[in-house]
C-alpha cells in the first residue's frame, strides 16, 4: 500500500485543525445563545411624571417626582410661559400638552432650562422612582416641564408646573369675585399686595389685598380671565407671584345642599314620643311656636293637617296655645286607616300653600319584640376554610332566659373585591361566581341558660379567587310572638398577602393615562407589605373581527379576546403604595397585578372613552357603510387578511 506523500499529510492536518476550530466556535456560540436565552428580554424604556397636580411650592427641596424604567438618564427641558392668558386659555391645569400643542403655542413660551438628568441606579424591567430638582434661581410663575428618553423623538412627557408660595382661593359670584390669599409655607394670610385681572391680553382691573388676605372685585368675571397675584414681602416672606386661570372647573356649590331651606319668620318645632304607630293607637303631637329670635308666640293659633300615604287630607284641626308658644293634641288612629307613611303639617294661615313645618310617622301592623338576642361581634375578616364561632344569648325583655326557644340561621354568600380595614378601597382578587350563594343551617335550641354556640362556615380556600362576604341572618323564634332577628357580616379570604389596585379616578378619558396606586396588602388587610409586583395591561379586542375581501365580501374571523398592551415591574415598600400610569386609547381594559413571590394576583377592569357602558358598541360588529369610513378599509387578497381598523365609539 503506498504511503501518503508529505503534501497529503499536511492537507489532512489542516483539515483536522479547521474542523476543531469550527467545533470550538459553534460550541461558544451555542453557549452564548443559551446564556442570552436565560436572561429576560428588556422591556421598552419609558419615563413618566408621578401625580397630576401642577403646584410646586417654593422651598429648598423643590422638585417633581418621576418614574422611569430601563433608563440611566433622561432629557429635561423647562419652558417658561411668557403669555399665560393665551397658553392657559387653551390648556387645563391637569392637561398633558402634546408635541402638537407645544408646537402650536410656541409663541407663548420660551425655553429656560435644558439638561440631562442622571437617574438613580435601578434593576432591569423594574420602575425606578426619582425626584427631578427644580433650579432655585427660577422666578415664580407658570412653566411646562418636558421629559423624554435620550435618543427618543416621538414619545415625550409634558406637565404643567406652577412654582409659587402663594395660595389662591376664588369665590366667584354673578356680579362679584372674592379672593382669599395665603402663604403656602405657613398658611398665614398675605397682608399686602395686589391682585391683577387680565382680559383680552390687557390688564383689566386691579384690587388691593387687605390685612385679612382678601381682595374683592365688584364685577362679573369671564371664564377666559386670568388672575395674577403679586404678594409683597412680609417679614421673612419674600415677594412672590401666583397665577390662577378662571377657566378651570371650580367646585360648584349648587350641587351641594349648602343653602338650607328658605328663611321664614316663624318656626314650628314638632315632636312626639315615637314615629311608629299601630292602627287604633293614639299618637301625641307637640308643637313649639317661635319667632326668628327664638321667642315664644303665645297668642297665635295654628292649623294642623294630617295627610295619608296618598297625600290626601284626612284630618284638619285648629289649635290654640295651652302655654306660651306650646300646643298639644292627641291624634287617634283607627283600624280603617291604611298603613304607610303619614304627614302632619302645621300652618299659620290655613289657606297657605306650604306648611311652616312637617312631621312624619309610620302606621303599621306589627308585633313588638318580647325577646332580645345578643352576641359578641366576631372578627370582620376570617381565614377561608375555618369555621367562625359565635356565642349567642337569648332572653325575654322582662329578664328570664329564652330557654328552649329555636334559633334559625340563614347564610348569604357574595363575592367581593375588597378586604375590610384601612385599605378597603383597593380592589383585590378576581371577579368570580359562586355555585351556591345561599345556605340554611340546621335549627338549634337554646340551653336552659338561653345560650347557644353557632359555627358559621367559610368557603374552601381552593375555590376562592376573590374575598367572599358572608351575611348571617339569625331569627330567635317564639310561639305566639314576633321573631327576634339579628345579622352579622364577615369576609373570608386566604391566609396570604394579595396585591391591591386603587384607581385614581373612576372615569378614564379617551387617549389618556390611567393612573393607579398599587400595594401589597397583608392577609389580615391591615398593613402594606414590601414586595415586587408584575403589572400587565390587556385590551379587549373582542373574540371576532370582520374582514372584507375582494370577490368574497364580509367574513367573520376568530381572534384572542385580550391583547397585551404593556408589562411593568413595580417594587413596593412596606407601608407605602406605588403609583403607576399606563397610556390607554379607548375601549375595555384589564389591569392585572401579580405578587412575584407568592403568585397571588388581582385584576381591575375599566373603560376608557367618552360613553357609558350602556351606549358602547359591541367588539364584534360590521363596519359602517358611509363613504368616508369605507375609505379606511383596506381591500386585501386572500393571502393577507389583516383586521379592519378599530375606531373610537365617537366615530361610529
> In the chain, how many domains are there?
5
Which of 317, 360, 365, 368 has the alpha carbon at shortest distance from 341? Answer: 360
- Look at 8 and 613; give whichever has higher pLDDT: 8
Q: Among 200, 220, 249, which residue terminates a domain?
A: 249
Which of 592, 306, 278 has the alpha carbon at shortest distance from 429? Answer: 592
| Model pLDDT, residue 12 | 66
Mean pLDDT computed over 136-159: 87
Q: Residues near 459 by Cβ (< 8 Å), separated by ≥ 6?
A: 384, 385, 413, 434, 468, 492
Q: What is the pLDDT of residues 408-452, one digit of tens each?
A: 999 999 999 999 999 999 999 999 988 888 999 999 999 999 999
Name the residue range of residue 424's domain.
Answer: 371-493
| Model pLDDT, residue 650 | 35
| 516: in domain | yes
Q: What is the pLDDT of residues 548-601, one digit of tens each?
A: 888 888 888 888 889 998 899 999 999 999 999 898 988 999 999 999 999 999
| Model pLDDT, residue 481 | 64
Pair 477, 507 in one domain: no
Backbone angles phi and psi of 457, in degrees to 5: -80, 165
Pair 76, 89 in one domain: yes
Which of 510, 542, 513 has the alpha carbon at shortest distance from 621? Answer: 542
- Residue 187 grid coordinates: 398658611
Pair 608, 466 in one domain: no
Pair 519, 537 in one domain: yes
Residue 341 in this model has a pLDDT that exceeds 80: yes
pLDDT band at 629 (very low <50, low <70, confident <90, very high): very low
Pair 547, 573 in one domain: yes
CA–CA separation, 526 vs 518, rounded Å? 15
**Mean pLDDT lowest for which of 204-213, 234-243, 596-605?**
234-243
Mean pLDDT computed over 341-345: 96
| 58: in domain | yes
| Model pLDDT, residue 638 | 35
Pair 100, 130 in one domain: yes
Pair 70, 189 in one domain: no
| 257: in domain | no
What residues does 501 pair with on adjacent strands?
Answer: 427, 518
Q: Find the length of the chain.
A: 652
Q: Cα 493–497–503 angle (5° rounding)?
A: 90
pLDDT band at 9 (very low <50, low <70, confident <90, very high): low
- Look at 615 and 486; give whichever has higher pLDDT: 486
* C-alpha atoms less than 13 angstroms from C-alpha of 398 in its C-beta half-sphere: 1
| 515: in domain | yes
Cβ–Cβ under 8 Å, residues 79 and 111 = yes
Here the CATH number for the domain that contains residue 547 is 2.60.40.1930
Percent of the chain residues past pLDDT 70, beyond the cut = 86
| 260: in domain | no
pLDDT band at 613 (very low <50, low <70, confident <90, very high): very low
Q: Which helix (H) or strand (E) holds 26?
A: helix 6-38
Which of 516, 541, 551, 505 has the alpha carbon at shortest distance from 643? Answer: 541
DSSP secondary structure, 496-517, as one string: S-EEEEEES-S-B-TTEEEEEE
Q: Among 493, 515, 537, which residue terminates a domain?
A: 493
Pair 213, 158 in one domain: no
| 116: in domain | yes
Which of 245, 523, 576, 268 has the alpha carbon at shortest distance from 384? Answer: 523
Which of 497, 503, 472 has the alpha carbon at shortest distance from 594? Answer: 497
DSSP secondary structure, 618-629, as one string: PSS-PPP-SHHH
Pair 205, 120 in one domain: no
| 15: in domain | no
Q: Which helix (H) or strand (E) holds 581?
A: strand 578-584
Residue 45 in this model has a pLDDT that exceeds 70: yes
CA–CA separation, 149 vs 117, rounded Å? 10
Here the CATH number for the domain that contains residue 219 is 2.60.40.10
- Residue 116 grid coordinates: 440631562
| Model pLDDT, residue 612 | 46
Pair 375, 291 in one domain: no
Q: Among 249, 283, 310, which residue terminates a domain?
A: 249
| Model pLDDT, residue 39 | 58
pTM > 0.95: yes or no: no
Residue 11 in this model has a pLDDT that exceeds 70: no
Pair 335, 385 in one domain: no
Pair 175, 159 in one domain: no
| 404: in domain | yes
Amino acid at each position: 500500500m503506498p504511503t501518503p506523500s508529505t503534501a497529503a499529510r499536511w492537507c489532512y492536518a489542516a483539515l483536522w485543525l479547521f474542523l476543531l476550530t469550527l467545533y470550538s466556535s459553534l460550541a461558544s456560540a451555542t453557549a452564548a445563545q443559551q446564556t442570552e436565552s436565560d436572561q429576560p428580554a428588556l422591556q421598552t424604556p419609558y419615563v413618566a411624571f408621578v401625580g397630576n397636580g401642577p403646584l410646586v411650592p417654593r422651598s429648598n427641596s423643590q422638585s417633581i417626582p418621576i418614574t422611569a424604567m430601563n433608563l440611566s438618564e433622561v432629557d429635561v427641558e423647562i419652558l417658561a410661559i411668557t403669555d399665560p392668558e393665551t397658553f392657559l386659555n387653551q390648556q387645563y391645569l391637569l392637561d398633558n400638552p402634546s408635541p402638537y400643542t407645544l408646537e402650536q403655542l410656541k409663541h407663548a413660551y420660551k425655553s429656560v432650562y435644558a439638561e440631562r438628568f442622571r437617574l438613580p441606579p435601578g434593576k432591569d424591567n423594574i420602575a425606578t422612582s426619582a425626584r427631578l430638582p427644580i433650579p432655585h434661581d427660577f422666578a415664580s410663575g407658570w412653566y411646562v416641564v418636558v421629559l423624554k428618553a435620550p435618543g427618543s423623538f416621538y414619545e415625550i412627557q409634558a406637565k404643567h408646573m406652577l412654582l409659587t408660595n402663594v395660595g389662591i382661593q376664588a369665590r366667584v359670584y354673578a356680579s362679584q369675585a372674592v379672593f382669599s390669599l395665603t402663604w403656602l409655607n405657613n398658611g398665614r394670610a398675605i397682608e399686602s399686595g395686589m391682585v391683577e385681572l387680565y382680559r383680552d391680553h390687557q390688564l383689566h382691573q386691579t384690587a388691593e389685598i387687605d390685612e385679612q388676605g382678601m381682595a374683592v372685585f365688584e364685577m362679573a368675571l369671564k371664564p377666559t380671565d386670568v388672575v395674577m397675584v403679586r404678594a409683597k414681602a412680609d417679614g421673612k416672606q419674600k415677594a412672590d407671584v401666583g397665577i390662577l386661570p378662571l377657566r378651570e372647573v371650580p367646585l360648584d356649590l349648587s350641587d351641594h345642599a349648602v343653602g338650607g331651606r328658605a328663611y321664614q319668620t316663624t318656626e314650628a318645632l314638632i315632636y312626639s314620643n315615637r314615629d311608629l304607630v299601630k292602627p287604633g293607637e293614639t299618637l301625641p303631637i307637640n308643637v313649639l311656636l317661635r319667632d326668628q329670635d327664638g321667642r315664644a308666640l303665645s297668642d297665635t293659633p295654628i292649623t294642623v293637617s294630617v295627610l295619608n300615604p296618598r297625600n290626601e287630607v284626612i284630618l284638619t284641626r285648629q289649635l290654640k296655645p295651652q302655654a306660651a308658644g306650646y300646643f298639644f293634641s292627641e291624634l287617634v288612629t283607627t283600624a280603617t286607616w291604611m298603613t304607610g307613611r303619614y304627614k302632619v303639617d302645621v300652618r299659620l294661615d290655613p289657606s297657605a300653600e306650604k306648611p311652616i313645618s312637617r312631621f312624619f310617622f309610620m302606621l303599621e301592623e306589627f308585633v313588638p319584640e318580647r325577646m332580645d338576642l345578643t352576641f359578641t361581634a366576631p372578627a370582620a375578616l376570617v381565614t377561608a376554610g375555618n369555621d367562625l364561632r359565635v356565642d349567642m344569648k337569648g332572653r325575654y325583655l322582662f329578664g328570664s332566659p329564652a330557654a328552649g326557644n329555636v334559633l334559625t340561621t340563614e347564610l348569604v354568600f357574595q363575592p367581593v373585591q375588597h378586604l375590610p380595614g384601612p385599605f378597603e378601597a383597593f380592589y383585590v382578587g378576581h371577579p368570580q361566581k359562586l355555585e351556591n350563594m345561599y345556605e340554611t343551617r340546621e335549627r338549634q335550641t337554646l340551653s336552659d341558660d338561653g345560650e347557644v354556640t353557632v359555627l358559621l362556615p367559610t368557603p374552601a380556600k381552593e375555590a376562592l379567587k376573590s374575598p367572599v362576604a358572608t351575611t348571617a341572618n339569625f331569627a330567635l323564634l317564639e310561639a305566639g310572638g314576633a321573631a327576634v332577628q339579628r345579622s352579622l357580616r364577615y369576609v373570608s379570604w386566604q391566609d396570604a398577602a394579595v396585591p391591591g389596585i386603587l384607581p385614581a379616578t373612576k372615569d378614564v378619558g379617551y387617549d389618556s393615562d390611567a393612573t393607579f396606586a398599587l400595594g401589597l396588602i397583608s392577609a389580615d388587610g391591615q398593613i402594606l407589605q414590601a414586595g415586587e409586583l408584575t403589572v400587565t395591561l390587556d385590551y379587549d379586542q373582542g373574540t371576532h373581527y370582520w374582514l372584507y375581501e375582494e370577490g368574497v365580501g364580509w367574513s367573520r374571523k376568530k381572534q384572542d379576546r385580550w391583547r397585551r398592551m404593556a408589562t411593568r415591574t413595580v417594587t413596593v415598600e412596606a407601608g407605602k403604595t406605588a403609583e403607576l400610569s399606563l397610556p390607554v386609547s379607548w375601549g375595555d381594559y384589564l389591569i392585572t397585578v401579580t405578587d412575584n413571590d407568592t403568585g397571588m394576583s388581582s385584576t381591575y377592569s375599566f373603560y376608557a372613552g367618552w360613553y357609558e357602558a350602556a351606549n358602547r358598541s359591541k367588539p364584534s360588529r360590521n363596519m359602517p357603510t358611509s363613504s368616508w369610513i369605507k375609505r379606511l378599509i383596506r381591500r386585501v387578497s386572500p393571502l393577507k387578511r389583516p383586521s379592519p381598523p378599530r375606531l373610537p365609539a365617537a366615530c361610529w
